[in-house]
A and B are shown apart, each in its own frame.
Chain A
Amino acid sequence: MTARRVIAAGLALAAACGSFENPSIVIDLRMIAMTAEPPEQVVPFDPSNPLAVAFDPVEVCALVADPEADRELAWTMTACSPRGDRRCDEPGAAMVAMGAGVIGDPDTASGPQVACAVLPAGAGLLAVLRETIENDDLSGFGGVDINVGLRVVPVGDGEASAIYGAKAVRFSPLLPAERVANTNPTLERIELDRGDGVMTDLPLGRCADQAAPITVAPLQSIELLPVEPPGAREAYVVPTFEGGTRQFTENLSYQWLAGAGDWTRGSTGGSRDGAGNQPPLDTAWEAPKAADVGAGRLVPLWVIQRDERGGSRWFESCVRVAP
């Protein structure tokens, strides 16, 4: 009786999950990634005046996909304290309007269409930091994240079509003294195996920017492996409550997205699971079936690389699927 209930619940849950769209397949307007440069600033710490330091400006960029439409997208970017829904629209909260603009269609417009804005190192940033520190459990001693909210909406559409995203930008005190600011990770290449055992590099770039993307048959699988350059996984120290330090090495994770088809793993890398398994880095992408590609179809692929400290980077590629 017990097992039946559990199984019944599990089957129902599985059925419910099966009816949802695949999160690794991008089918409409969607944010792909956001990066901050630099992702972290480490500043000398003065307990008597934590904000009496000089910060650098931070550039935040966002990659958006909109595969089912050919249209321009309007965007606004705002920095605020990370509260509530992280959309930086809470009345009365300190915030910095970083910028706004319009990008062309992400898939077809000429040249990469990226929304970028700069968070200036000025009074606005200090106000946001002050509010963030006031709401921080540790009053900023462990470092704080301020939030950059992004709103994207097709030009001419209303709020119902808007999508939102958020990116954390870290500001840390120089505690311990050997602490070094995080940098965004990077990749040396992405290895491609079409099933013939021959490893090649996956060409990078949007479909609109690639003259001859790789071509695969419907339902054909390709295996992908991110290859990191030496030192990509940074060593870093963190302070402990007891006043000491502990050193760790970053683990890098990869999120895999595509415009069609399917992935065997939507995310790879990261930390070990509860059983101690080291997570695999590779995945495989299966092309859509013939009925979905007609005479041929360009399918965008995205890889988002992240460390556990707010650093990230995205890579775009393209596959042609033809019968």
Chain B
Amino acid sequence: MLSRHAVLPLVLVGSMASAGRVQAQDVRRDAPPPPAKAPVVTKAPVLLQAVAPEYPPAALAAGQQAQVPVRIFIDATGVVIKVDVVTAQGQGFDQAAIAAAMQYVFDPAEIDGVPAPITVETVIHFVIEQQAVEPPPLLPAAPRDPEPAAQGPASHGGDVRKPVSLEGELVERGTRRQLAGVIVSITELGLDAITDRDGHFWFHGVPAGPYTLAAVGDKHDRLERAIAIAAKETVEVRLWMRPRGGSIYQTVVEGEREVLEVTRRTLQRQQLTSVPGTFGDPIRVIQTLPGLARTPFGLGFLVIRGSNPDDTAVYIDGHEVPQLFHFLGGPSIFNAEFLESIDLYPGGYPARFGRSHGGVVSVETRATKSDGVHGSADVDLLDAGGYLRAPVTKRASIAIAGRRSYVDALLPLVLPAPSPGSTRVVVPVYWDGQARADWDLGAEGKLSVFALHSTDTLDVLQADEDEEESLDLNTSVTFSRVIGRYQRRLAGDFELTLSPAWGRDTLSFAANTAGATGPFTGAEINNDVLSYRMRVKGPLAKTLLLDTGLDIESRITSFDALAPDDSGIREGDNIDIDPSRLFRTTEQLSLGVHADLAWDVTPKLRLLPGVRVDAHAISGQAWVDADLRLTSRWQVAPTFTAKGYLGSFHQPPQPESVDARFGNPDVRSEWAIHTGIGGEWKPDRLWLIDGELYFIERRELVVFDDGGELEEDGSQVDASTFTNSGSGRGFGFEGMIKREISERVYGWLSYTYSNSTRRSGPTSRATKTAFDQPQNLNAVLSWKPGGGWELGGRLRLSSGRPDTPYTGATYDADSGGYRPESGGFRTTRRELFHQVDVRVEKTWLFQLWSMGLYLDIQNLFNVDNVEAIQWDYRYRESAPVTGIPFLPTIGVRGQW
């Protein structure tokens, strides 16, 4: 029979799964829940029908008895969809218990008042005296008192008319995170309470005596603790639950295809920090998803479906930023603690994203909380970072984070002194910092400010003072953003978001002889950006949802250069010209309005038309772009959904290419048409198989045209150097087989077939794009054997990049060098790239904090992958430039 006291303790898995889905959906369909609110179990599931299991004949004949603990997964309708045996008993007891439990029927649980899937745990007893197992009593348990107990909030167990005998708090070991929605039971009495959003629970009227307090969570080890309750006293307890597997670093695999946007893939916060080869950087994980090409030397370019990296827009909280990674293959500019989610849109994205025709990467930052002081720190051989958050008031909190590399300080200690005339070693130095403040205004909404700064510099590590030719190099790339956001509910379940932002991007370069008082050559390019977004979303009708808004971006770019200016000279080659200062500014103002509509034509068919109109005023030129987009999803079967999209996407040119002096005022926006069709098959909750065919046509691409035009009198030359004469085309297939997170294993296999070409003019030959990679496969597998260990591996296979062979060279007597003779521009391909990365991590949990130690090894088998080809001076011999060798990295991180 079922234990009388096994009151089907609820666990958090059901509520977390539901919350994740709500976050992933577009609010055009679902009323937007406040993202910071933790889901709360407001009603436990009630067993309506139990079935007695078959006693295993062999065990019965042998006189064996057993108690089989089982975990029961219940869907939102109360149907049992899966049963796991927690501790196997063998002798056929496990199978019998599963078979019986699969036939149970429940009144479903409710989370935040809505029926929701949930998981419960109980024990099925096999007792010989009864010859069979009694069916469990229907829940909730029958009251023992002669008169019914008064029911209070779910977080209060027992008769709330009686005084509190026991009160407590449930927190997670290592993080001190308060655990909401977990049932705590006094097993001897069958009394239950569900922890509230702060992890608290109370029991009323408990008689004096010894008891066992139990708490069970799907993501935590079962907790039992003996307590003693005295008469007329209130006992206070704090229960520490240990994360299952002993690791607080969750490795939930998402790569999720969203219900509305056909090609959105989402990574959630605290996911994927353990993917091998990414150094624990979750943002790098997007490079293993379908649609992205591999970039050489681990450079962080976002090459999506054959587009140029510049054609992909990166947003942080809805505002575009110039880069997502520190340059030359550095880590992301973001501390993972500030990361809420990353959405990758390889194509066919919603109308709220505009001004790019490649892909979109949208990063959402994480709100801070007033739940105590928490932090984390990471240290490895090359950089160190930290994060700290703290409450200011009960409704306001702040968080800060920062990271700094120190390879510039360590390398001189291990590198040999340079030989005369040798190349100096130049290494990047990077640092970044973030800060965020949140205010909960209650019914008036929420307010937040997020600030971000990133700096990359190049340092000369070794300068030979005896060299006649000295060099003092100063190069840096910095950008800053301050993003405000105000969100509140409007009438009719609409939600309003207002978000202004300020930013500055600076690229500076200066070179001079060592000891000089000022630079000989240099340049500084500043982008001052002001942007503003307004977004309103909500239901227009039961089957109609609207997501609309506007976004404005103003950008002033100033160029301040000190360089030899040969622009006014007709024959400027090789002339030794004194540097002169050049200052120039360009302006861009873009106003975009957008609307997406989600229309449930039938319960299984959804159409999403979208429209976007952008007005541009760039370098004195003005024009309007308009885009129409249509997405559809059709649920063909309960486990299979077909999908497709068609839409246009405009991208304005860089302001300098429209500039009257340096560019062509006639240049206008590039544009592309995205089309795609595919399907998703989800046979069960753990597996997803996803495939998509796409075709992209790119038109009016801005290309550099070196053919100037001559005025009639010969005195003026039209310096038009940019034209909209380019075009491109891409098609391919993207597939993904994914195993969702379970207790111990996650993994996925992603595959991309891609073909992308470009033409510089209507009559020119189509050539492969620089990063064209027909085949690209990524396989990731991670396993938690327990005890705080996590082992992972990643396999990457991808086609080599296009290459240009040389068949000889001609000696150039005027320069002394050689001019290569091409055997065909990008007509060959480099060798197949293949690499295996592995990662081992061990986490120790302490009461108040945790510590993790990891070893991340790139290129485990030290494969010489060819990333570039080097030629001799006569183009007779070539040699490969190989990529990253066997590269182990050790790091440690703590969290409290």
* B443 at interface by CB-CB < 8 Å: no
* A251 at interface by CB-CB < 8 Å: yes
Q: Are A240 and B570 in contact (CB under 8 A)?
A: yes
Given A20-B873, A142-B571, decide whether A5 and B407 contact each other with a Cβ distance below 8 A. Answer: no
Q: How far is the CB of B870 from chain A (nearest CB, A)?
A: 4
* A34 at interface by CB-CB < 8 Å: yes
Residues of B within 8 A of A272 (CB): 520, 576
Question: In the complex, what distance in Å separates the CA atom of A271 from the CA atom of B405?
Answer: 37
Q: How far is the CB of B257 from chain A (nearest CB, A)?
A: 31
Residues of A within 8 A of B469 (CB): 273, 275, 277, 279-280
Residues of A within 8 A of B382 (CB): 1-4
Given A3-B427, A271-B576, decide whether A166 and B513 contact each other with a Cβ distance below 8 A. Answer: no
* A143 at interface by CB-CB < 8 Å: yes
CB contact between B870 and one of A16, A85, A267 (< 8 Å): that residue? A16
Q: Are B575 and A248 in contact (CB under 8 A)?
A: yes
* A8 at interface by CB-CB < 8 Å: yes
Q: Are A306 and B814 in contact (CB under 8 A)?
A: yes
* B209 at interface by CB-CB < 8 Å: no
Residues of B within 8 A of A200 (CB): none
Question: In the complex, what distance in Å separates the CA atom of A165 from the CA atom of B814?
Answer: 10
Q: How far is the CB of A124 from chain B (nearest CB, A)?
A: 21
* B714 at interface by CB-CB < 8 Å: yes
Residue count of chain A within 8 Å CB distance of chain B: 71
* A69 at interface by CB-CB < 8 Å: no
* A168 at interface by CB-CB < 8 Å: yes
Question: In the complex, what distance in Å separates the CA atom of A317 from the CA atom of B569?
Answer: 39
Given A238-B570, A240-B569, decide whether A251 and B428 contact each other with a Cβ distance below 8 A. Answer: no
Residues of B within 8 A of A304 (CB): 816
Residues of A within 8 A of B887 (CB): 4, 8
Q: How far is the CB of B877 from chain A (nearest CB, A)?
A: 6
* B330 at interface by CB-CB < 8 Å: yes
Q: Are B710 and A139 in contact (CB under 8 A)?
A: yes
Q: Are A16 and B880 in contact (CB under 8 A)?
A: yes
Q: Are B520 and A274 in contact (CB under 8 A)?
A: yes
Given A163-B811, A271-B576, decide whether A13 and B881 contact each other with a Cβ distance below 8 A. Answer: yes
Residues of A within 8 A of B87 (CB): none
Q: How far is the CB of A38 from chain B (nearest CB, A)?
A: 15
Question: In the complex, what distance in Å separates the CA atom of A246 from the CA atom of B383?
Answer: 51
Given A20-B873, A20-B879, A312-B813, decide whether A280 and B568 contact each other with a Cβ distance below 8 A. Answer: no
Q: Are A2 and B326 in contact (CB under 8 A)?
A: yes
Q: Are A308 and B470 in contact (CB under 8 A)?
A: no
Q: Are B814 and A138 in contact (CB under 8 A)?
A: no
Q: Please, what's the 1-or-0 string for A4-15, where 1 marks a CB less than 8 Å from any CB in chain B? A: 111111101110
Residues of A within 8 A of B331 (CB): 1-2
Question: In the complex, what distance in Å separates the CA atom of A246 from the CA atom of B420?
Answer: 38
Q: Are B468 and A280 in contact (CB under 8 A)?
A: yes
Q: Are B468 and A277 in contact (CB under 8 A)?
A: yes
User: B430, B707, B872 — which one has the most chain A CB atoms within 10 A of its CB?
Assistant: B872
* A23 at interface by CB-CB < 8 Å: yes
Q: Are A85 and B810 in contact (CB under 8 A)?
A: yes
Q: Are A275 and B511 in contact (CB under 8 A)?
A: yes
Question: In the complex, what distance in Å separates the CA atom of A168 from the CA atom of B812?
Answer: 9
Given A1-B382, A164-B808, decide whether A308 and B574 contact each other with a Cβ distance below 8 A. Answer: yes
* B425 at interface by CB-CB < 8 Å: yes
In the complex, chain B residues 433-476 whose Cβ is within 8 Å of any chain A Cβ: 468-473
Q: Are A275 and B512 in contact (CB under 8 A)?
A: yes
Residues of B within 8 A of A4 (CB): 382, 407, 884, 887
Q: Are B819 and A16 in contact (CB under 8 A)?
A: no
Q: Are B521 and A275 in contact (CB under 8 A)?
A: yes
- Smallest Cβ-Cβ distance to A4: which chain B residue: B887
Residue count of chain B within 8 Å CB distance of chain A: 82
CB contact between A164 and one of B408, B810, B877 (< 8 Å): that residue? B810
* B805 at interface by CB-CB < 8 Å: no
Q: Are A21 and B872 in contact (CB under 8 A)?
A: yes
* B602 at interface by CB-CB < 8 Å: no
User: A3, A139, A238, A251 — which one has the most chain B CB atoms within 10 A of its CB?
Assistant: A3
Q: Please, what's the 1-or-0 string for A260-289, where 1 marks a CB less than 8 Å from any CB in chain B? A: 000011010001111111011000000000
Q: Are B571 and A2 in contact (CB under 8 A)?
A: no
Q: Are B430 and A2 in contact (CB under 8 A)?
A: yes
Q: Please, what's the 1-or-0 string for A291-323, where 1 marks a CB less than 8 Å from any CB in chain B? A: 000000000000010101110100000000000
Given A2-B330, A166-B811, decide whether A8 and B577 contact each other with a Cβ distance below 8 A. Answer: no
* B298 at interface by CB-CB < 8 Å: yes
* B516 at interface by CB-CB < 8 Å: yes
Given A31-B811, A141-B714, A167-B813, decide whether A85 and B819 contact each other with a Cβ distance below 8 A. Answer: yes
Q: Please, what's the 1-or-0 string for B804-829, where 1 marks a CB less than 8 Å from any CB in chain A? A: 00001111111110010100000000
* B717 at interface by CB-CB < 8 Å: yes
Question: In the complex, what distance in Å separates the CA atom of A164 from the CA atom of B719?
Answer: 34
Q: Are B813 and A165 in contact (CB under 8 A)?
A: yes
* A91 at interface by CB-CB < 8 Å: no
Q: Are A7 and B870 in contact (CB under 8 A)?
A: no
Q: Please, what's the 1-or-0 string for B875-888, where 1 marks a CB less than 8 Å from any CB in chain A? A: 00101111111010
Residues of B within 8 A of A149 (CB): 810
Residues of A within 8 A of B520 (CB): 272, 274-276
* A206 at interface by CB-CB < 8 Å: no
- Smallest Cβ-Cβ distance to A6: which chain B residue: B328
CB contact between B881 and one of A9, A86, A141, A167 (< 8 Å): that residue? A9
In the complex, chain B residues 318-357 whose Cβ is within 8 Å of any chain A Cβ: 326, 328-331
Given A141-B570, A238-B571, A241-B717, decide whether A1 and B576 contact each other with a Cβ distance below 8 A. Answer: no
Given A1-B382, A240-B568, decide whether A166 and B813 contact each other with a Cβ distance below 8 A. Answer: yes
Question: In the complex, what distance in Å separates the CA atom of A13 from the CA atom of B814?
Answer: 28
Q: Are A2 and B329 in contact (CB under 8 A)?
A: yes
* B622 at interface by CB-CB < 8 Å: no
Residues of A within 8 A of B579 (CB): 276
Given A5-B298, A13-B881, A246-B569, decide whether A166 and B810 contact each other with a Cβ distance below 8 A. Answer: yes
Q: Are A271 and B574 in contact (CB under 8 A)?
A: yes
Given A3-B382, A85-B821, decide whether A255 and B816 contact each other with a Cβ distance below 8 A. Answer: yes
Residues of A within 8 A of B717 (CB): 138, 241
Q: Please, what's the 1-or-0 string for B572-613, where 1 marks a CB less than 8 Å from any CB in chain A? A: 111111010000000000000000000000000000000000
Given A9-B881, A167-B813, decide whether A277 and B513 contact each other with a Cβ distance below 8 A. Answer: yes
Q: How far is the CB of B456 from chain A (nearest CB, A)?
A: 9
* A17 at interface by CB-CB < 8 Å: yes
Q: Are B812 and A137 in contact (CB under 8 A)?
A: no
Question: In the complex, what distance in Å separates the CA atom of A308 from the CA atom of B815?
Answer: 9
* B250 at interface by CB-CB < 8 Å: no
Q: How far is the CB of A278 from chain B (nearest CB, A)?
A: 9
Residues of B within 8 A of A21 (CB): 872-873, 877
Residues of B within 8 A of A241 (CB): 567-570, 716-717, 719
Q: Please, what's the 1-or-0 string for A225-269, where 1 marks a CB less than 8 Å from any CB in chain B? A: 000000000000011111110101001000100000000110100
* B297 at interface by CB-CB < 8 Å: yes
Q: Please, what's the 1-or-0 string for B399-410, where 1 marks a CB less than 8 Å from any CB in chain A? A: 000000101100
- Smallest Cβ-Cβ distance to A311: which chain B residue: B814
28 cross-chain CB contacts under 8 A? A1-B331, A2-B328, A3-B411, A6-B428, A7-B411, A7-B427, A9-B881, A13-B868, A14-B423, A20-B877, A20-B879, A33-B813, A47-B714, A137-B706, A137-B707, A137-B708, A139-B710, A165-B811, A166-B812, A238-B571, A240-B568, A241-B719, A246-B569, A265-B421, A275-B521, A276-B516, A277-B513, A304-B816
Q: 14 new A-B pairs (CB below 8 Å) besides A8-B887, A306-B815?
A: A2-B329, A8-B884, A13-B870, A23-B873, A138-B708, A143-B570, A165-B811, A165-B812, A276-B521, A277-B469, A277-B470, A279-B469, A308-B575, A308-B576
Closest 5 CB pairs of A and B: A276-B520, A142-B570, A308-B574, A34-B813, A271-B576
Q: What is A's interface to B at a CB cutoff of 8 Å?
A: 1-10, 12-14, 16-17, 19-21, 23, 30-31, 33-35, 47, 62, 85-87, 137-139, 141-143, 149, 163-168, 238-244, 246, 248, 251, 255, 264-265, 267, 271-277, 279-280, 304, 306, 308-310, 312
